[in-house]
Structure 1
Amino acid sequence: MNTLLPVASVGSLPKPSWLAKPEVLWSPWELEGAALVEGKQDALRIAVQEQRRRGVDIISDGEQTRQHFVTTFIEHLEGVDFENRETVRIRDRYDASVPTVVGAVSRKQPVFLDDAKFLRAQTDQPIKWALPGPMTMIDTLSDRHYKSREKLAWEFATILNQEAKELEAAGVDIIQFDEPAFNVFFDDVADWGVAALERAAEGLRAETVVHICYGYGIKANNDWKATLGAEWRQYERTFPLIQKSSIDIVSLESHHSHVPTDLVELIRGKKVMLGAIDVASEQIETPEEVADTLRKALQFVDADKLIASTNCGMAPLPRDVAYGKLSALSAGAAILRAELGEQA
């Protein structure tokens, strides 16, 4: 991609109300059978069209065909029981009813391949596909079989690698692994988390991203963030490890967060997908605010390695707000692109 400061969204976008209940995570589908398949594809088409219309350079599926960024992948695996659910604490923040691992996990067939092929057919622009990272997967279920977080993470990493290679073969340019758990379980990240992530990305020619955020703009996450103090320095624990890893791009929160921008220095040399849009607020940023957030990061990342993005997914937001934020993101990146062009 030759565009300076390309624009991308992290992942999820709100679904149409005829497909799923708006502004809710794990929202049940409003359609079923063949109508659901058709409805998901229509929603994906709309998401692509809206991204292109609003100046997004790296197109994603907006996660229109999945209920949730982690559990939709897990529910396609063998060895996981979705009927026998248990309530667990997710990322030490909130309780959720999750599936249970009852046997050896395996993937009998591709999970997202058909959806990725459909996305590829909608646009000639670069496309990005998000998968859950191994550590975040084990944090979103109950394990009655392996009884070892590390062991299960390695199993998931192998499965994710199979999936990622098929997505790459279908024409996906960038494969993103979502690892919000990296902001919580620091010892595990150091002991085996980054290694498991590298296993998931092993052998890929597509560019790879690790996305580490502070979560969707839901109450449990917002309440947790309120306890983190004046400076959020969680990235300080993980960035030096990721800087030495084989992952190409690091996606992080910045705008309206208490993350010190100078922490970006810890991943010097990597591409940076900088969150310049606050997903925990319905206030639409001005292009100038976006440009200012991106501009501050240029002290710590070269302009040709900076990607303008959102802090996290936007599934829980009203659709007009989410798409308005994408327009602001593109307009803000354009301001900074013009400034950099004048300096050249």
Structure 2
Amino acid sequence: MIMKKLLPTSTAGSLPKPSWLAEPEKLWSPWKLEGDALAHGKHDALKLSLHEQQRAGIDIVSDGEQSRQHFVTTFIEHLDGVDFDKRETVKIRDRYDASVPTVVGAVSRQKPVFVEDARFLREQTDQPIKWALPGPMTMIDTLYDGHYKSREKLAWEFAKILNQEAKELEAAGVDIIQFDEPAFNVFFDEVNDWGMATLERAVEGLTCETAVHICYGYGIKANTDWKKTLGSEWRQYESIFPKLQQSSLDMISLECHNSHVPMELIELIRGKKIMVGAIDVASSSIETADEVANTLRQALQFVDAENLYPCTNCGMAPLPRDLALGKLKALSAGADIIRNELSP
């Protein structure tokens, strides 16, 4: 499906779940339903999330990750070789400690993880749909490896598994498959040594559009505290953009609004489609349409209008639903302002 609209809007990933499905404003929130009721509840929540995206004027819609507790571990829990009962504490992205499952044997995927949910979303709308998967490097950073003893080797195994899933998602009607790689903003040497190569393996053979989302994280305290240590300029993207520029990935999703990322860094990936984060997911205030438009104007100095895709900085699962909806409406309104400015 080709998106012909100028400046098509989308979200970076997760959206808040309804309170009847899971505890709101919390990551890894346990489900409130069980069995068949949970399965139906997830689909109801997906339809509700879709409706709210449409109501807000979002052009490229997603499932809002309504059927997942977490953007990484929900995929991993469906794989063989990982023991969720055997847990270890690791430091995720060198920022905060978390109790994570252990890789105890060869990892493999016996059946599709998200494909049925993707088919269900495809049945609900004629709009372009985007589906997010965790990237290989971010997956290995959310586990304790008790088997391979090699981050690179495990990443290559995950890349093969992700490629299997991605091909089936494409066949189910997904228009854009996005790989979430916040770890790219932390482990620069590994990204350039083998991280980008494993991501290329994950997208191998796909004919739909492919994207990578690289942000500074959810608006949780561990991330906001880390951002305070980064100084007046956040130049992490500068270390990885040259590899991304040379990659086969079609789209790159970035955190821009209310960040200290120098906008001119986007020049390093000119020619790619850029999902510009124009909504701050770590703020409890709703952006004005003019604030969104100003972020997009700045980006337009370094990306051609036909390649600009207004987006959120990151996922919004930890936010109140009404706040998230207000932010989505602001994103659409700000994009409208720029579309009107660009109209002949």
Task: State the TM-score, normalized to the length of structure 1.
Answer: 0.99
Query: Identity of counterpart residues, as a percentage?
Result: 76
- Measured after TM superposition, the shift of residue 327 of structure 1 is 0.2
* Structure 1: 5+ residue stretches without partners: none
The answer for the alignment partner of 1:23 in structure 2 is 25
- Measured after TM superposition, the shift of residue 282 of structure 1 is 1.1
User: Partners of 1:338 and 1:313 in 2: how far apart?
Assistant: 28
User: Partners of 2:190 and 2:29 in 1: how far apart?
Assistant: 31
Query: Which residue type is aligned with residue 20 of structure 2?
Result: W
The answer for the alignment partner of 2:165 in structure 1 is 163
Out of 229, 239, 243, the residue aligned to residue 237 of structure 1 is 239
SS at match of 1:96: strand
SS at match of 2:198: helix
Q: Give the total of aligned pairs.
A: 342
The answer for the alignment partner of 1:99 in structure 2 is 101
Matched, 1:126 2:128: yes
User: Partners of 1:171 and 1:268 in 2: how far apart?
Assistant: 28
The answer for the alignment partner of 1:218 in structure 2 is 220
User: Partners of 1:58 and 1:171 in 2: how far apart?
Assistant: 13
Out of 47, 53, 56, the residue aligned to residue 54 of structure 1 is 56
- Measured after TM superposition, the shift of residue 243 of structure 1 is 0.4
The answer for the alignment partner of 1:36 in structure 2 is 38
* Structure 2: 5+ residue stretches without partners: none
User: Partners of 1:51 and 1:80 in 2: how far apart?
Assistant: 34
User: Partners of 1:289 and 1:68 in 2: how far apart?
Assistant: 30
User: Partners of 2:280 and 2:257 in 1: how far apart?
Assistant: 6
SS at match of 2:319: coil
Matched, 1:268 2:270: yes
Query: Which residue type is aligned with residue 31 of structure 1?
Result: L
Tell me how large the CA RMSD over aligned residues is: 0.4
Query: Which residue type is aligned with residue 22 of structure 2?
Result: A
- Measured after TM superposition, the shift of residue 217 of structure 1 is 0.2
The answer for the alignment partner of 1:141 in structure 2 is 143
Out of 205, 208, 215, the residue aligned to residue 207 of structure 2 is 205
The answer for the alignment partner of 1:319 in structure 2 is 321
Query: Which residue type is aligned with residue 327 of structure 2?
Result: K
The answer for the alignment partner of 1:81 in structure 2 is 83
User: Partners of 1:329 and 1:281 in 2: how far apart?
Assistant: 14
User: Partners of 1:266 and 1:41 in 2: how far apart?
Assistant: 40
Task: State the TM-score, normalized to the length of structure 2.
Answer: 0.99
- The structure 1 segments of at least 4 consecutive aligned residues displaced by more than 2 Å after TM superposition are none
Matched, 1:246 2:248: yes
Query: Which residue type is aligned with residue 16 of structure 1?
Result: P
- Measured after TM superposition, the shift of residue 178 of structure 1 is 0.1
